[in-house]
Amino acid sequence: MYRSDTIVACATPPGRGAIAVVRLSGPQATAILQALFRPTHARRITPWTLMHGTAVDPQDGSAIDEVLAVRMPGPKSYTGEDVCEIQAHGSPVVVEAILDAALRAGARAAERGEFTRRAVINGRIDLLQAEAIADLIDARVHAGAQLAWSQLQGALSDQLAALRHLVKRVLVEIEANIDFSDDELPCENLPARIETLDTAAAGVAVLLEGFVTARRYREGFRTVLVGRPNVGKSSLVNALLGRGRMIVSDEPGTTRDSVEETVDLGGTAFVLTDTAGVRATESTAEREAVARTREIAANADILLVILDGSQPLTDEDRELCLCRPDAADATRLFVVNKSDLPSRLTEHDEQCVAGLSAEGEAAVRLSAKSGEGCAELVVAMKQAARAAVDGRAPAGLSRARHRSALTRVAAGLVRARRTAAADGEPELCALELRDVLRELAAISTPMDNDEILEAIFGEFCIGK
């Protein structure tokens, strides 16, 4: 990271639009703005004031565009450095001219996420908040945006800080007793020490449990559709999406691989996965696709078992009715499709469907072709989503990196507690707690790990 230069980038999406924002950050940001911007009604650029004027070429003074500009001095800016922004008309030609002028005036083109990375380096935000910014920009539904906003405001950072405080308190006490004689310190309170470690472990467990909830809010509930070929899985996905994304054909085996689409249904995101039809086949490709379908179904949050109501149930249908996701809080819903056609379910089939519904697993009858009954399925899916998060720990950790680190923290706390309870070799307990503190700190401030930083900020757009 170049700490001493000034960077520039367009902070709005590429293409044509009403406005485009060109952002500068660094020690020469103000000087470059003064070279590029001529205020209309003032002789100098006033900080924190949006000013009208003209963007000009610094070499010959020729006008580029009528613009608005603002100067935000550090350290209270987004990056902690001097930041300047120019709001121009959203023409790619105009943006390119302003960027070129800024580069010739001494700026450097920013890398992906470099503005936010500088905010982290300068202490304006921690790494958790930086990730929250990326999540907020990428949020697909309101629930995911709310989760990202909470993390951006420091909710998760505060929880981790509280855990670090508990662990540090125990570590300080242990190291004090190691360094000083018994005459110089009061007697050790072993039960209180163990109780503090238990409190920290419980806090870690709550955060880990909330990972699943956070993942569902951030990415969507994994909703997998399984069924025999031609029962209408792709047609149902299209009906839920409201557009013809999936290929629909009368030929069996059209879908050879899983296809994912995300849909917002009343503020909740569902990742709809259309899978290969399950049937006995001699085709190697189809057998592999069916095996993949079973694997995907096992990881579903909501499993939709699609049955064809215009045909009697087959042995394959009955086998699919036994398929369940692995997660204890996952939901299985049965969909009897093609209600627009005469029903050919036998009396035994009807009893089977009724029995499934009686067991608490909803059976919805609909027509993916006409859309009749799809609203009832959406209601059932939203109820399943609510049931999956009700009673769980609140959403917290949202990324696999966080979970991996906290899993190691949990294991370290178990080892430290075991050593403390044995009341022997306090040096080993202190060593475990120091490792725990390093892992906790690395979640929000892994500034010595370039690989992690590059992976995180590589997700950002240029200009953010």
- Rounded distance between C-alpha atoms, residue 380 and residue 129, angstroms: 35
- Rounded distance between C-alpha atoms, residue 159 and residue 204, angstroms: 9
Place of tokens 């370039």: 450
CATH number at residue 143: 1.20.120.430
Q: Is residue 451, in this structure, part of any structural domain at all?
A: no
Please give the pLDDT value at position 215.
82
Residue 206's alpha-carbon distances to 266, 330, 388, 392, in angstroms, are 28, 19, 16, 9
Helical axes 155-179 vs 190-219, angle rounded to 10°: 160
Indicate the number of domains in the chain.
3
Residues 21 and 112 in one domain: yes
Residues 113 and 44 in one domain: yes
Q: What is the mean pLDDT of residues 129-133?
A: 90
Residues 339 and 382 in one domain: yes
- Rounded distance between C-alpha atoms, residue 74 and residue 357, angstroms: 62
Q: Which residues contact 405 (CB under 8 A, 6 or more apart)?
A: 439, 440, 442, 443
Helical axes 142-152 vs 190-219, angle rounded to 10°: 140
Please give the pLDDT value at position 140.
74
Residues 309 and 364 in one domain: yes
Q: Are 248 and 178 in contact (CB under 8 A)?
A: no
**pTM of this structure:** 0.76
CATH number at residue 26: 3.30.1360.120
CATH number at residue 375: 3.40.50.300
- Rounded distance between C-alpha atoms, residue 443 and residue 407, angstroms: 12
Q: Residue 67: name the closest of 36, 106, 110, 101 by CA.
A: 36
Residues 30 and 104 in one domain: yes
How many degrees, rounded to 5, is the angle at CA 60 between CA 58 and CA 62?
85
- Rounded distance between C-alpha atoms, residue 119 and residue 310, angstroms: 60
Residues 212 and 229 in one domain: no
- Rounded distance between C-alpha atoms, residue 229 and residue 274, angstroms: 11
Cβ atoms within 10 Å, residue 59: 10
Residues 226 and 375 in one domain: yes
Q: Residue 264: name the closest of 287, 246, 245, 240 by CA.
A: 240
- Domain, as residue range, for 169: 131-216+399-444
Q: What is the mean pLDDT of residues 203-216?
A: 86
DSSP-H helix ranges across 62-141: 92-104, 114-121, 127-138
Residues 171 and 89 in one domain: no
Cβ atoms within 10 Å, residue 296: 20
Q: What is the mean pLDDT of residues 292-321?
A: 87
Please say if the pLDDT value at position 460 is more than 70: yes
Residues 194 and 288 in one domain: no
Under the phi-then-psi rule, with left for phi > 0, alpha for psi from -120 to 50, and beta for the rest, what region is 414?
alpha
Higher pLDDT, residue 173 or 19: 19
Please give the pLDDT value at position 463.
80
* Residue where a domain terminates, one of 71, 100, 126: 126
* Residue where a domain terminates, one of 126, 148, 182: 126
Q: Is residue 1, in this structure, part of any structural domain at all?
A: no
Q: Which residues contact 208 (CB under 8 A, 6 or more apart)?
A: 397, 403, 406, 407, 410
Give the tens place of pLDDT for each residue, 69-128: 999 999 999 999 999 999 999 999 999 999 999 999 999 999 999 999 999 989 999 989
Give the tens place of pLDDT for each residue, 156-201: 889 999 999 999 998 888 887 776 655 554 556 778 888 999 999 9
Residues 43 and 20 in one domain: yes
Q: Above pLDDT 90, what percent of the chain?
A: 43
Q: Are 436 and 413 in contact (CB under 8 A)?
A: yes
| Beta-sheet strand order (sheet of 302-308) | 259-265, 268-274, 221-226, 302-308, 331-337, 363-365
| Beta-sheet strand order (sheet of 17-25) | 37-39, 51-56, 63-72, 83-90, 17-25, 7-10, 108-109
Concatenate the DSSP letters of all residues of 415-462 into one string: HHHHHHHHT--HHHHHHHHHHHHHHHHHHH--TT-HHHHHHHHTTSPB
The overall average pLDDT reported for the chain is 85
Please give the pLDDT value at position 3.
60
Q: Is residue 462, in this structure, part of any structural domain at all?
A: no
Residues written for the chain:
464
Cα-to-chain-centroid distance, residue 115: 20
Give the tens place of pLDDT for each residue, 311-338: 998 888 888 888 888 888 888 899 999 9
Residues 338 and 295 in one domain: yes
Q: Is residue 453, in this structure, part of any structural domain at all?
A: no
Q: Is residue 294, in this structure, part of any structural domain at all?
A: yes
Q: Are strands 83-90 and 221-226 parallel, antiparallel or unpaired?
A: unpaired
Residues 279 and 167 in one domain: no
